[in-house]
Chain A
């Protein structure tokens, strides 16, 4: 069964204090690992897709990396507006899980000024 585990559950940072969020996964053939941002009362907003181990993608202060077992979301010099819940998801490649998109429980990030 596909599983996604995110850590930590919550993270509090001071503005400018860099850190990383972790996403560990098991899936029957990976057809994409996705990072989303979710603000309170809203639907998840897409950030990145990673497919191959070693792949990296960047967007402003965020950088996502992928290995065969986990992904990291690195946040460099965060600002208060980066405060949100960050969600990781994996899409299975085939078999009975074809097309299925499984999410982790999320990491709540709070950045204090």
Chain B
């Protein structure tokens, strides 16, 4: 009964380092999303994917890259981390869009860039 799993849960990076956040879902969902959440800012969409092999930019894509090579996985990469990327990152997935298809969220990754 895993749902959406994010790896890692916590990470501290030095400015300029790179890392990849992994999101895995076991619900055979088509759509996957990466958000960042900062105090007072709500959830801001970084990138999303409407199917395997596809990606699209959200509201705040700069400094991030993504890949969806397998349907169940959505990777978020930071090539050169900056302190402004300190945030809590959430991954979500949902089934092919119908009228009443909600997104399921992972437990979040807390990233600190020093």
Interchain CB contact (< 8 A) of A42 among B44, B94, B103, B108: B108
Chain B, residues 77-114, CB within 8 Å of chain A (1/0): the string is 00000000000001010100101111111111000000
Closest residue of chain B to A6, judged by CB?
A: B42
A45 → chain B, closest Cβ, in Å? 8
A58-66, A69-77, A100-108 - interface stretch = A100-108
* Count of residues in B whose CB is under 8 Å from the partner chain: 29
Task: Please give the distance in Å from B18's CB to the nearest CB on chain A.
Answer: 25
When the two chains form their complex, are residues B42 and A49 in contact, meaning their CB atoms are under 8 A apart?
A: no
B10: min CB distance to chain A, Å: 11
Residue of B nearest to A92 (CB): B97
Q: A46-B104, A87-B42 are in contact. Are A100 and B97 (CB under 8 A)?
A: no
Interface bits B38-55 vs A (CB < 8 Å: 1, else 0): 001111110010100000
Residues of B with Cβ closer than 8 Å to A?
A: 4, 31, 33, 35, 40-45, 48, 50, 56, 58-59, 90, 92, 94, 97, 99-108
